Amino acid sequence: MKIKLATWNINSVRLRIDSLARFSKMYNPDIIALQEIKCANEHFPLESINNLGYNHVAFHGQKGYHGVAILSRLPIDHLCQHDFNQSADTRHIAVKLKSTSRSKNPVILHNFYIPAGGDIPDRTKNIKFGQKLDYLTNLTNWFKDETNNHSDRMIMVGDFNIAPLEMDVWSHKQLLKVVSHTPIEVTHLNDLQNSRNWHDVMRQFIPEEEPLFTWWSYRAKDWRLSNRGRRLDHIWVTPKLAKTSRSMQVISDMRSWEKASDHAPVIAEFEI
Protein backbone atom coordinates (compact mmCIF):
# COMPACT_ATOMS: atom_id res chain seq x y z
CA MET A 1 0.00 0.00 0.00
CA LYS A 2 1.37 3.41 -1.00
CA ILE A 3 0.85 6.30 1.39
CA LYS A 4 1.66 9.96 0.82
CA LEU A 5 2.01 11.63 4.22
CA ALA A 6 2.39 15.35 4.92
CA THR A 7 3.25 17.15 8.13
CA TRP A 8 2.72 20.89 8.50
CA ASN A 9 2.69 23.44 11.28
CA ILE A 10 -0.22 25.38 9.82
CA ASN A 11 -0.21 28.14 12.48
CA SER A 12 -4.04 28.34 12.67
CA VAL A 13 -6.17 25.94 10.68
CA ARG A 14 -9.08 28.38 10.38
CA LEU A 15 -6.90 31.25 9.18
CA ARG A 16 -5.23 29.05 6.57
CA ILE A 17 -8.06 26.77 5.50
CA ASP A 18 -7.80 28.12 1.94
CA SER A 19 -4.08 27.35 1.87
CA LEU A 20 -4.83 23.87 3.17
CA ALA A 21 -7.33 23.37 0.34
CA ARG A 22 -4.82 24.61 -2.25
CA PHE A 23 -2.08 22.40 -0.82
CA SER A 24 -4.38 19.38 -0.81
CA LYS A 25 -5.35 19.93 -4.44
CA MET A 26 -1.78 20.48 -5.62
CA TYR A 27 -0.08 17.62 -3.81
CA ASN A 28 -2.91 15.22 -2.96
CA PRO A 29 -1.54 13.71 0.26
CA ASP A 30 -3.42 10.75 1.71
CA ILE A 31 -2.76 11.93 5.25
CA ILE A 32 -1.98 15.40 6.61
CA ALA A 33 -0.71 15.88 10.16
CA LEU A 34 -1.21 19.44 11.37
CA GLN A 35 0.32 21.26 14.33
CA GLU A 36 -0.69 24.55 15.95
CA ILE A 37 -4.27 24.35 14.76
CA LYS A 38 -5.05 27.03 17.37
CA CYS A 39 -8.74 26.36 17.92
CA ALA A 40 -10.93 24.58 20.42
CA ASN A 41 -12.46 21.31 19.30
CA GLU A 42 -15.91 22.83 18.90
CA HIS A 43 -14.55 25.34 16.38
CA PHE A 44 -12.50 22.92 14.31
CA PRO A 45 -13.51 23.33 10.60
CA LEU A 46 -14.47 19.69 10.15
CA GLU A 47 -17.00 20.25 7.38
CA SER A 48 -14.50 22.20 5.26
CA ILE A 49 -11.90 19.49 5.73
CA ASN A 50 -14.40 16.74 4.88
CA ASN A 51 -15.15 18.65 1.68
CA LEU A 52 -11.48 18.27 0.74
CA GLY A 53 -11.90 14.51 0.81
CA TYR A 54 -10.54 13.90 4.30
CA ASN A 55 -13.41 11.99 5.85
CA HIS A 56 -11.37 10.42 8.64
CA VAL A 57 -10.22 13.09 11.06
CA ALA A 58 -8.82 13.11 14.59
CA PHE A 59 -8.11 16.38 16.37
CA HIS A 60 -7.10 17.60 19.80
CA GLY A 61 -7.32 21.36 20.18
CA GLN A 62 -7.58 24.23 22.61
CA LYS A 63 -8.58 27.86 22.35
CA GLY A 64 -5.99 30.10 20.74
CA TYR A 65 -2.92 27.93 21.25
CA HIS A 66 -1.22 24.69 20.24
CA GLY A 67 -3.44 21.85 19.02
CA VAL A 68 -2.84 18.95 16.63
CA ALA A 69 -4.90 17.13 14.03
CA ILE A 70 -4.63 14.22 11.61
CA LEU A 71 -6.63 14.38 8.37
CA SER A 72 -6.89 11.16 6.40
CA ARG A 73 -8.45 9.75 3.28
CA LEU A 74 -7.65 6.32 4.66
CA PRO A 75 -9.63 4.80 7.53
CA ILE A 76 -8.04 5.47 10.92
CA ASP A 77 -8.81 4.75 14.54
CA HIS A 78 -8.11 7.47 17.12
CA LEU A 79 -5.67 5.66 19.40
CA CYS A 80 -4.58 8.09 22.13
CA GLN A 81 -3.55 11.60 23.10
CA HIS A 82 -1.25 12.44 25.97
CA ASP A 83 -0.25 15.45 28.02
CA PHE A 84 3.39 14.71 28.73
CA ASN A 85 3.86 17.70 31.05
CA GLN A 86 0.46 17.72 32.79
CA SER A 87 0.07 21.27 31.47
CA ALA A 88 -3.30 20.80 29.70
CA ASP A 89 -1.62 21.79 26.43
CA THR A 90 -2.81 19.83 23.39
CA ARG A 91 0.41 18.70 21.78
CA HIS A 92 -0.02 15.03 20.84
CA ILE A 93 -2.41 12.75 19.03
CA ALA A 94 -1.98 9.24 17.67
CA VAL A 95 -4.00 7.12 15.27
CA LYS A 96 -3.92 3.58 13.94
CA LEU A 97 -4.18 3.04 10.20
CA LYS A 98 -7.15 0.69 9.94
CA SER A 99 -6.15 -0.48 6.48
CA THR A 100 -3.18 -2.20 8.11
CA SER A 101 -4.85 -3.13 11.39
CA ARG A 102 -5.36 -6.78 10.39
CA SER A 103 -1.65 -7.18 10.91
CA LYS A 104 -0.45 -8.05 14.37
CA ASN A 105 1.69 -4.95 14.03
CA PRO A 106 -0.50 -2.14 12.68
CA VAL A 107 0.98 1.15 11.54
CA ILE A 108 0.68 3.80 14.25
CA LEU A 109 1.05 7.50 13.43
CA HIS A 110 2.07 9.92 16.20
CA ASN A 111 1.72 13.66 15.61
CA PHE A 112 3.57 16.04 17.99
CA TYR A 113 3.92 19.73 18.60
CA ILE A 114 6.84 19.85 21.03
CA PRO A 115 7.12 23.06 23.11
CA ALA A 116 9.18 25.85 21.56
CA GLY A 117 10.95 26.67 24.81
CA GLY A 118 10.92 30.45 24.94
CA ASP A 119 13.91 32.68 24.18
CA ILE A 120 16.48 32.02 26.92
CA PRO A 121 18.20 28.58 26.91
CA ASP A 122 18.44 28.36 30.69
CA ARG A 123 15.80 26.57 32.73
CA THR A 124 16.69 28.56 35.86
CA LYS A 125 15.83 31.82 34.06
CA ASN A 126 13.15 30.58 31.67
CA ILE A 127 10.44 28.20 32.85
CA LYS A 128 9.42 27.46 29.25
CA PHE A 129 12.85 26.06 28.45
CA GLY A 130 12.67 23.73 31.43
CA GLN A 131 9.20 22.61 30.37
CA LYS A 132 10.52 21.80 26.90
CA LEU A 133 13.34 19.65 28.26
CA ASP A 134 10.97 17.91 30.68
CA TYR A 135 8.50 17.24 27.89
CA LEU A 136 11.24 15.55 25.85
CA THR A 137 12.39 13.51 28.85
CA ASN A 138 8.85 12.36 29.65
CA LEU A 139 8.20 11.52 26.02
CA THR A 140 11.43 9.53 25.79
CA ASN A 141 10.56 7.56 28.91
CA TRP A 142 7.06 6.91 27.57
CA PHE A 143 8.42 5.35 24.40
CA LYS A 144 10.92 3.31 26.39
CA ASP A 145 8.09 1.83 28.47
CA GLU A 146 7.09 -1.40 26.76
CA THR A 147 3.48 -1.06 27.93
CA ASN A 148 3.13 1.99 25.65
CA ASN A 149 4.57 0.33 22.57
CA HIS A 150 1.44 -0.47 20.60
CA SER A 151 3.39 -1.57 17.54
CA ASP A 152 6.91 -1.86 16.15
CA ARG A 153 5.68 -0.11 12.99
CA MET A 154 5.35 3.53 13.96
CA ILE A 155 5.69 6.89 12.27
CA MET A 156 6.36 10.03 14.29
CA VAL A 157 5.88 13.44 12.67
CA GLY A 158 5.46 17.01 13.71
CA ASP A 159 7.05 20.26 14.74
CA PHE A 160 9.73 19.13 17.16
CA ASN A 161 11.08 22.70 17.56
CA ILE A 162 14.65 21.44 17.44
CA ALA A 163 17.10 21.54 14.54
CA PRO A 164 19.57 18.84 15.60
CA LEU A 165 22.26 18.78 12.90
CA GLU A 166 24.77 21.44 11.92
CA MET A 167 23.26 21.76 8.44
CA ASP A 168 19.73 21.94 9.88
CA VAL A 169 20.37 25.63 10.62
CA TRP A 170 21.68 28.53 8.58
CA SER A 171 24.64 29.03 10.92
CA HIS A 172 25.69 26.34 13.38
CA LYS A 173 28.13 28.58 15.27
CA GLN A 174 25.77 31.53 15.59
CA LEU A 175 22.82 29.42 16.77
CA LEU A 176 24.57 27.25 19.36
CA LYS A 177 23.16 29.47 22.10
CA VAL A 178 19.80 30.02 20.45
CA VAL A 179 16.79 27.97 21.56
CA SER A 180 16.10 25.16 19.05
CA HIS A 181 19.77 24.36 18.36
CA THR A 182 21.47 24.31 21.77
CA PRO A 183 23.52 21.23 22.67
CA ILE A 184 21.22 20.30 25.57
CA GLU A 185 18.15 20.31 23.31
CA VAL A 186 19.96 18.23 20.71
CA THR A 187 21.01 15.76 23.40
CA HIS A 188 17.41 15.41 24.56
CA LEU A 189 16.21 14.91 20.99
CA ASN A 190 18.91 12.30 20.40
CA ASP A 191 17.75 10.47 23.53
CA LEU A 192 14.22 10.48 22.13
CA GLN A 193 15.46 9.17 18.80
CA ASN A 194 17.38 6.39 20.54
CA SER A 195 14.32 5.39 22.59
CA ARG A 196 13.01 3.30 19.69
CA ASN A 197 15.92 3.62 17.25
CA TRP A 198 13.86 6.04 15.18
CA HIS A 199 15.08 6.65 11.62
CA ASP A 200 15.21 10.21 10.26
CA VAL A 201 13.32 9.91 6.96
CA MET A 202 14.22 13.38 5.73
CA ARG A 203 17.93 12.73 6.02
CA GLN A 204 17.55 9.43 4.20
CA PHE A 205 17.01 11.55 1.09
CA ILE A 206 19.07 14.67 1.81
CA PRO A 207 22.61 13.95 3.10
CA GLU A 208 23.56 15.45 6.44
CA GLU A 209 26.22 17.56 4.70
CA GLU A 210 23.56 19.51 2.78
CA PRO A 211 21.36 22.32 4.19
CA LEU A 212 17.77 21.32 4.91
CA PHE A 213 15.26 23.81 6.36
CA THR A 214 11.51 23.80 7.03
CA TRP A 215 11.07 27.07 8.95
CA TRP A 216 11.90 30.69 8.13
CA SER A 217 11.17 33.55 10.54
CA TYR A 218 8.53 36.15 9.80
CA ARG A 219 11.13 38.76 10.76
CA ALA A 220 13.03 38.41 7.48
CA LYS A 221 11.90 40.88 4.82
CA ASP A 222 12.86 38.39 2.12
CA TRP A 223 12.99 34.95 3.66
CA ARG A 224 14.25 33.29 0.47
CA LEU A 225 17.06 35.80 -0.08
CA SER A 226 18.32 35.64 3.50
CA ASN A 227 17.54 31.90 3.78
CA ARG A 228 18.11 31.91 7.52
CA GLY A 229 16.16 28.73 8.01
CA ARG A 230 16.01 25.85 10.47
CA ARG A 231 14.75 22.28 10.17
CA LEU A 232 12.22 22.16 12.99
CA ASP A 233 9.78 19.73 11.34
CA HIS A 234 10.56 16.03 11.19
CA ILE A 235 9.40 12.63 10.00
CA TRP A 236 10.73 9.60 11.85
CA VAL A 237 9.96 5.89 11.54
CA THR A 238 10.78 2.82 13.57
CA PRO A 239 13.25 0.32 12.06
CA LYS A 240 10.54 -1.96 10.66
CA LEU A 241 9.45 0.90 8.38
CA ALA A 242 12.90 2.30 7.56
CA LYS A 243 13.02 0.66 4.14
CA THR A 244 9.48 1.63 3.16
CA SER A 245 10.13 5.34 2.46
CA ARG A 246 10.21 6.18 -1.25
CA SER A 247 10.52 9.99 -1.46
CA MET A 248 10.60 13.19 0.56
CA GLN A 249 10.20 16.87 -0.28
CA VAL A 250 9.90 20.17 1.58
CA ILE A 251 7.30 22.38 -0.08
CA SER A 252 9.28 25.57 0.52
CA ASP A 253 7.36 27.58 -2.10
CA MET A 254 4.40 27.66 0.28
CA ARG A 255 6.40 29.98 2.55
CA SER A 256 5.68 32.66 -0.10
CA TRP A 257 1.94 32.11 -0.30
CA GLU A 258 -0.45 34.75 0.94
CA LYS A 259 -0.92 34.53 4.72
CA ALA A 260 1.81 31.91 4.81
CA SER A 261 2.74 29.90 7.86
CA ASP A 262 6.37 30.32 8.89
CA HIS A 263 6.70 26.54 8.43
CA ALA A 264 6.70 24.72 5.10
CA PRO A 265 4.99 21.33 4.80
CA VAL A 266 7.06 18.19 4.43
CA ILE A 267 5.80 15.29 2.33
CA ALA A 268 7.06 11.72 2.42
CA GLU A 269 5.83 8.73 0.45
CA PHE A 270 5.84 5.20 1.83
CA GLU A 271 5.12 1.78 0.43
CA ILE A 272 3.95 -0.25 3.41
The answer to whether 159 is a known catalytic residue is yes
In the set 113, 168, 200, 233, the catalytic residue is: 113
The answer to whether 218 is a known catalytic residue is no
Burial class, 264, CB count within 10 angstroms (exposed 0-12 / middle 13-18 / buried 19+): buried
- Strand, helix or coil for residue 130: helix
d(CA 73, CA 182): 38
d(CA 79, CA 251): 29
> Helices 183-195 and 127-144: crossing angle, nearest 10°?
20
DSSP, residue by residue, 176-196: TTSTTS-HHHHHHHHHHHHHT
Which DSSP category does 38 fall into?
Answer: -
Alpha helices in 4-126 (DSSP H): 17-27, 46-51
d(CA 238, CA 131): 26
CA distance readout (Å), 128 to 4, 55, 132: 34, 36, 6
Helix, strand, coil: what percent of the chain each, to 5? 30, 25, 45
In the set 30, 54, 135, 159, the catalytic residue is: 159
Residues recognised as catalytic: 113, 159
